[in-house]
């Protein structure tokens, strides 16, 4: 079992990989927005959204279920059962993904109605041959997760991102090809999926992985994965439904088809990647905690579950609270700097309050899944998805892209509240309410400091120096407020990361001085 110090270090390692991956992906997203334009980016995003539904159908519930199953088998020393579980998950993912791929190509004329744009349909069928590779790759990563091989779990994901960026940059910028730019970007995604599959499979066999008869594990694995898969399929389907309904609602309100696709590209291709930055840190925390939660639940250690839940919620709140003032104060400037789009910046600033419920709903949903509460998370998701769709239907004509942010706020707020209620029943009393209020107070105080600073610097300096000075002083103010409200003990964290030998040498040196 991972100790407290090892847990922090492991989470930091995973976070470093995740932050690198998201940073590179973010830079690539900026390149895509410049090369494809808002309309092309919207078309590309629409194809990825539909493709994600097929990925979810193929393997979504299997990785998390497999990781939990492997953690349970390893805790009992059942190595043969663990190998059988990996084989069962891989066989299920491969069979489903191959069936979906062949069926989609066979029934391609019937899929025209899914896409509101013919170009997006073409991009989808460029991505589709990579579906079997993606599905099996997801299962292999799930086995790394369950065996606590966090380095390789994170490294393969980073390698996939790097492959996509290198290939995409080469095809879009360096190599003069006459093909449409969106098609080249989709081809880069396909090649990255193929490379990540080969890397994960090679590592699996090099580290002694083997396949064995999956007969005994097929039924329990499938039954446990179905609720998670259903929830994630519905989530992906909701995203696809929104991607279709949102442009249609804009067109019915008087916008042209090109304007509607451009608006969708701004929100989903520019604003959403910025809003999802906290997920890099929250998902890393969940990644480390899920196997730990599964082992504690198997041993019946309820007090430790309660303590881990409180720490996880506090960490998610702190991450969101630290980024909230930066988004609120500098959101408009971020949109201009990164995407040359004042509208995206205004939406980033307006959506800053979304960070808190989004982070809480993400971490609490992962914890509930690790406690085998898949049915609860499915019902919670349905409630949140209903709120999202209703908001988009009612407000798109009035708010445009802002309706998507309002929908996300309604979805995540409702999901967070319901998830916390279930977690409280499962793990005992939650004591994160006070921490949440202190986080909000610190974020509000930092924002009150940041707004006048930004106005002053923008008035007396050019854009980039003013942005940099505001960012530095706002970050310093946040650090002071975090210390003042005692939201994080930075000294304790530094001691945990500093090796014992270096601490001894440091103490001796200070003694000599």
Instruction: Look at residue 430 and tell me whether its pLDDT is greater than 80.
Output: no
| 129 within some domain | yes
- Asked if the model's pLDDT at residue 179 lies above 70, the reply is yes
DSSP assignment of 216-250? HHHHHHHHHHHHHHHHHHHHHHHHHHHHHHHHHHH
For residue 281, being part of any structural domain is answered with no
How far is it, in rounded angstroms, from Cα 320 to Cα 452?
22
403 domain-assigned:
no
2 has a pLDDT exceeding 70 = no
Mean pLDDT of 483-507: 57
Query: Which of 7-21, 25-39, 74-88, 259-273 bottoms out in mean pLDDT, i.e. has the lowest?
Result: 7-21
Measured from the Cβ of residue 191, the count of other Cβ atoms closer than 10 Å reads 17
**Which residues have CB under 8 Å from 67's CB, separation 6+?**
142, 143, 145, 146, 290, 291, 294
Average pLDDT (482-500) is 63
> Which two tokens mark 459?
């008035």
Mean per-residue pLDDT, 303-323: 84
Residue 339 lies in a domain: no
- Virtual CA dihedral for 432, 355, 279, 9, nearest 10 degrees? -40
* Torsions phi, psi for 446 (to 5 deg): -65, -40
Residue 109 structure tokens: 């004329």
Residue 22, classed as helix, strand or coil, is helix
Q: How many separate domains does the chain show?
A: 1
| pLDDT at position 510 | 42
pTM of this structure: 0.65
User: Does the pLDDT of residue 141 top 80, yes or no?
Assistant: yes
In a domain, 159, yes or no: yes
Structural domain includes residue 319: no
Render pLDDT for 443-485 as a digit per residue (tens, 0 to 9): 999 999 999 999 999 999 999 899 999 999 999 999 888 888 8
Give the contacts of 382 (CB within 8 A, at least 6 positions apart): 234
332 found inside a domain: no
pLDDT score for 450: 93
Does pLDDT of 6 surpass 80? Answer: no
CB of 108 closer than 8 Å to CB of 32: no
> Is residue 341 in a domain?
no
* Structural domain of 179: 1-226
């Amino acid at each position: 079992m991972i100790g407290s110090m090892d847990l922090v270090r492991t989470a930091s390692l995973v976070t470093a990989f995740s932050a690198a991956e998201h940073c590179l992906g973010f830079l690539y997203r900026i390149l895509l927005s410049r090369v494809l334009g808002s309309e092309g980016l919207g078309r590309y995003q629409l194809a990825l959204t539909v493709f994600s539904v097929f990925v979810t159908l193929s393997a979504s519930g299997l990785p998390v279920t497999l990781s939990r199953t492997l953690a349970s088998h390893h805790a009992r020393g059942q190595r043969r059962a663990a190998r059988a579980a990996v084989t069962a998950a891989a066989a299920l993912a491969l069979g489903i993904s191959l069936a979906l791929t062949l069926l989609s190509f066979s029934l391609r004329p019937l899929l025209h109605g899914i896409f509101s744009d013919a170009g997006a349909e073409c991009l989808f069928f460029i991505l589709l041959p990579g579906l079997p590779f993606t599905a099996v790759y997801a299962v292999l990563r799930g086995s790394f997760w369950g065996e606590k091989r966090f380095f390789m779990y994170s490294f393969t994901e980073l390698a996939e991102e790097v492959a996509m960026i290198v290939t995409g940059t080469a095809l879009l910028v360096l190599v003069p090809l006459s093909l449409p730019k969106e098609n080249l970007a989709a081809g880069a995604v396909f090649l990255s999926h193929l490379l990540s599959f080969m890397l994960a499979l090679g590592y699996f066999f090099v580290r002694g992985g083997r396949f064995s008869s999956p007969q005994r594990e097929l039924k329990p694995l499938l039954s446990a994965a179905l609720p998670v898969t259903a929830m994630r399929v519905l989530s992906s389907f909701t995203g696809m439904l929104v991607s279709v309904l949102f442009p249609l609602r804009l067109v019915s309100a008087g916008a042209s088809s090109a304007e509607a696709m451009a608006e969708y590209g701004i929100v989903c291709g520019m604003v959403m990647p910025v809003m999802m930055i906290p997920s890099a840190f929250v998902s890393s925390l969940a990644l480390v905690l899920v196997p730990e939660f599964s082992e504690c639940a198997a041993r019946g250690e309820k007090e430790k579950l309660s303590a881990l839940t409180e720490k996880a919620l506090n960490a998610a709140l702190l991450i969101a609270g630290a980024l909230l003032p930066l988004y609120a104060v500098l959101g408009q400037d971020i949109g201009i700097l990164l995407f040359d789009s004042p509208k995206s910046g205004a939406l980033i600033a307006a959506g800053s309050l979304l960070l808190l419920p989004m982070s809480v709903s993400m971490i609490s949903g992962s914890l509930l899944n690790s406690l085998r509460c898949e049915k609860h998370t499915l019902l919670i998701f349905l409630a949140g998805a209903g709120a999202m769709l209703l908001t988009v239907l009612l407000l798109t004509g009035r708010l445009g892209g802002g309706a998507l942010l309002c929908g996300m706020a309604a979805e995540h707020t409702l999901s967070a509240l319901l998830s916390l209620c279930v977690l409280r029943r499962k793990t005992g009393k939650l004591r994160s309410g006070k921490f949440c209020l202190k986080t909000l107070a610190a974020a509000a105080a930092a924002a009150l400091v940041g707004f006048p600073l930004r106005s002053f610097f923008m008035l007396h300096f050019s854009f980039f120096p003013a942005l940099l000075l505001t960012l530095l002083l706002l970050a310093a103010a946040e650090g002071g407020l975090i210390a003042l409200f005692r939201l994080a003990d930075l000294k304790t964290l530094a001691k945990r990361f500093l090796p014992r030998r270096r601490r001894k040498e440091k103490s001796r040196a200070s003694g000599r001085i």
